[in-house]
Amino acid sequence: MLTQERYHSILQILSERDAVTVAELSQALDTSESTIRRDLNYLDDAGKLKKVFGGATAIQSSTGVTELPFERREGEMFEEKTAIARYAATLVHDGDFVFIDAGTTTYRLIDFLTNKKATYMTNGIAHSRKLIQRGFDTHILGGKIKPFTEAVVGTTAIGEITKLNFTKAFVGTNGIDLTAGFTTPEMDEGAVKEAMVKKAYLTFILSDRSKFRKVFPVSFADITKGCIITDSVPDERFLQATVIKEVNK
């Protein structure tokens, strides 16, 4: 195998697994461990990966602070979001006081809710409208409205959350990382998410597989603070770090 081909193969493996050992690369590429170490040194110097003792890790993925409008995000990973939402809806029981976070997967969740003996609160404008149309007991936070995400944010919203005790919260996220936890691009929305996670007895993070191994500027909860409901997990280390339900298994 040519040197450039090995470089490409190593980076491809890291894109799928996030971390790999020298021994694993040596076996996968049928190359000596000394050659693999030289390759890792070169790729580390080139800024393509991070060399660690015994192997390498992928460069942390960060997607910046820009977030697409709600309408554009709603169509992304639609089938996966539908499967996640359908399962999440079965977790609502009689008497629950449920918080539904603003977001596209949580918005899809409302289509599958059936329990009208629960009370629902949200910080999503579109979410509140859909809840009302479906005949649920609906409450919405007060505060500043963000145009792109149609989310209610700010100190007023956080103040209201701190006075309440939710049995369950269904929360969206932009990124999931073993170290950074659950992250989002924007500080105001991050603060609201952080508050709702703290005030919920049970927190469910609704996220398709594309959100794993991504880090955004604002961390709103440690990875252990919520049960992740996803279509599939791209890296088994996440399964060891927290409780995860894969709806496609």
CATH number, domain containing residue 144:
3.40.50.1360
Are 101 and 31 contained in the same domain? no
pLDDT at 234: 86
Instruction: List, for residues 4-63, the tens digit of each pLDDT value.
Output: 888 888 888 887 776 788 998 999 898 999 999 999 999 888 778 888 888 888 765 555
Are 88 and 144 contained in the same domain? yes
End residue of a domain, out of 23, 38, 59: 59
Q: Please check the confidence at residue 72 and state whether its pLDDT lies above 80.
A: no
Length of the chain: 249
Q: Please check the confidence at residue 229 and state whether its pLDDT lies above 60.
A: yes
pLDDT at 121: 98
Kindly state whether residue 65 falls inside one of the protein's structural domains. no
Domain span including residue 46: 3-59
pLDDT at 124: 96
pLDDT at 241: 94
Are 143 and 84 contained in the same domain? yes
Using alpha carbons, select from 226, 114, 120, 237 the residue that is nearest to residue 171: 226
Kindly state whether residue 159 falls inside one of the protein's structural domains. yes
131 Cβ neighbours under 8 A, 6+ residues apart: 100, 110, 113, 120, 122, 138
Q: Please check the confidence at residue 223 and state whether its pLDDT lies above 60.
A: yes
Are 38 and 115 contained in the same domain? no
Distance in angstroms (rounded) separating the CA atoms of residues 41 and 35: 10
Kindly state whether residue 242 falls inside one of the protein's structural domains. yes
Kindly state whether residue 100 falls inside one of the protein's structural domains. yes
Kindly state whether residue 52 falls inside one of the protein's structural domains. yes
End residue of a domain, out of 39, 59, 79: 59
Are 156 and 128 contained in the same domain? yes
Instruction: List, for residues 76-118, the tens digit of each pLDDT value.
Output: 678 999 999 999 999 999 999 999 999 999 999 999 999 999 9
Out of 50-59, 168-177, 228-237, which region has the weakest mean confidence (pLDDT)? 50-59
Are 45 and 138 contained in the same domain? no
Q: Please check the confidence at residue 247 and state whether its pLDDT lies above 80.
A: yes
pLDDT confidence tier of residue 134, bands split at 50, 70 and 90: very high
Q: Please check the confidence at residue 64 and state whether its pLDDT lies above 60.
A: no
- Choose the most confident range, by mean pLDDT, from 21-30, 166-175, 234-243: 166-175
pLDDT confidence tier of residue 148, bands split at 50, 70 and 90: confident
Are 17 and 113 contained in the same domain? no
pLDDT at 119: 98
Higher pLDDT, 194 or 48: 194
CATH of the domain at 53: 1.10.10.10
Average pLDDT over the chain reads 89
Average pLDDT over residues 170-195: 93
Q: Please check the confidence at residue 69 and state whether its pLDDT lies above 70.
A: no
Alpha-carbon dihedral of residues 64, 157, 152, 109, nearest 10 degrees?
Answer: 90
